[in-house]
Structure 1
Amino acid sequence: MALYLLDMKELKVLFVLLLTTTAAQAQSFHFGKCPKPSVQEDFSVEKYMGSWYEIEKLPAIFEKGKCNQATYSLLSDGTVKVQNAEILSDGKINSIEGVAKVKDPSQPAILAVSFFKGVPDAPYWVLSTDYQSYSLVYSCTDYLGIFHIDFAWILARNRVLTEDILEPLHDKLTAVGVNINRLTVSNQTGCDLLDQ
């Protein structure tokens, strides 16, 4: 049947089925709207600046390498420069630069990140951090009010994080509704290329 013969409801179902097939293989896909977890109280953007290394994450189709890291630096206009980098399987560095901004000054732990002009900002919610060792980040986007895709990252100031720190972060993710069995451990070995 040609697409132009489908009514709006059928188009939505077709769209959802297509996205489901794609998203379910490499993302964290759920029916319904995004949860609204609580975020870090009294969050300080300034204290958050610097490099963070990915320790664990929900599957993210846009991350293909190892040694994933993010470096944040404060810009003069109050926004944050975001520099993400990873090492691909062929040994090349893959990096992307974007800008993050606090959407509402009364909730500074809720940021929006943009990597491409004309593409909607991605949510970046800091659920918990001590600024010195770990950060727990959550991101979720609703699609048509029918389903959502979420991401979660456990980040650290070093390329390793101990189990006594990881366990309470897993508990926080579980409380948000994240299936922690879907978390993958990030490979942070052989990262000399990025450490230069």
Structure 2
Amino acid sequence: MKKVFALPLVMALAACASSQADLATQDDVDLNKYMGTWYEQARLPNSFQRECAGDVQADYVMEANKSITVTNRCQSTEGGVKEAVGEGRLSTSASPVDPAILEVRFAPKWLSWFPMVWGDYWIMKLEGDYQYSLVGTPDRQYLWVLSRDKQADKNTVNELLDYAASQGFAVEKVVQTNPEK
């Protein structure tokens, strides 16, 4: 497996950092239920996933110290598999602490003290007892629709995208991860 280059990813995630707090998030998120494998169904285009052609998935594991190991994988445009391993944590800027407001870092651990390497990861909406997740950033530049199954219910995905539109996201630019042929 090829490793995704960290520098462009770090730069892209740094661009996610925002002080805007007007983005609605899901109430009462249980991070233990959120852990596991999620399959991307749709996303706003972004530079760090430019080489992802399909089969995008994210695996989340809660560690003993309450950090989250994040492993992102996708089928590359060249036919191989791209992988990036990072860390997630509760946002240091959310007060009070909100388990729906997370930060992720794919930069080397020795850079973790630098705030710009942490990108926003806000759980906006959950559906079907943690079967679907809508994740975005408060600057409205990044958006993902995730599901527990590789093939998601199209109506649920569209409902989540409609909700994202009501929150100010440019859903007309969204790309389907594995479009129907």
Fold-level similarity (TM above 0.5): yes
After TM superposition, the runs of 4+ consecutive aligned structure 1 residues lying more than 6 A away are none
For 1:136, the aligned partner's letter is: L
Distance in 2, Cα, partners of 1:101 & 1:123: 10
Of 4, 24, 33, 1:47 maps to: 33
Number of the residue aligned with 2:66: 78
Is 2:173 the counterpart of 1:182?
Answer: yes
Stretches of structure 2 that go unaligned for 5 or more consecutive residues are 1-14
Q: Which one of the candidate residues 96, 101, 125 is aligned to 1:110?
A: 101
Residue ranges of structure 1 left out of the alignment (5+ in a row): 1-28, 142-148, 190-196
1:100 paired to 2:77: no
Distance, in Å, in 1 between the alignment partners of 2:157 and 2:44 is 14
Q: Deviations over 1:122-175 (max 9, x none)?
A: 00000011354210000245xxxxxxx610000010112223212321221111
Give the whole-Å Cα distance in 2 for the aligned partners of 1:108 and 1:69.
Answer: 21
Given residue 106 of structure 1, which amino acid in structure 2 is its aligned partner?
V
CA offsets per residue over residues 49-91 of structure 1, 9 Å max, x none? 0000110000011112121110000001001000001111222
The 1:169–1:128 alpha-carbon spacing in structure 2 relative to 1, beyond 3 Å, is: same
1:58 aligns with 2:27: no
Q: How does 1:151-190 map to 2 (within 5 A)?
A: 151-187=142-178
TM-score by length of 1: 0.70
Match of residue 4 from structure 2: none
Matched position secondary structure for 1:42: coil
Report SS of the residue matched to 2:141.
strand
TM-score (norm 2): 0.76
Matches of 1:48 and 1:95 in 2, distance apart? Answer: 20
Once the two structures are TM-superposed, the CA of residue 36 in structure 1 deviates from its matched residue by: 2.1
RMSD, aligned α-carbons: 2.5
Task: Name the SS for the 1:124 alignment partner.
Answer: strand
**How many pairs were matched up?**
153
Who wins on radius of gyration, i.e. which is larger? 1
Give identity over the alignment, percent. 26
- The 2-side partners of 1:156 and 1:54 are apart by 7
Query: What is the aligned partner in structure 2 of residue 17 from structure 1?
Result: none
- Letter in structure 2 aligned against 1:60: N
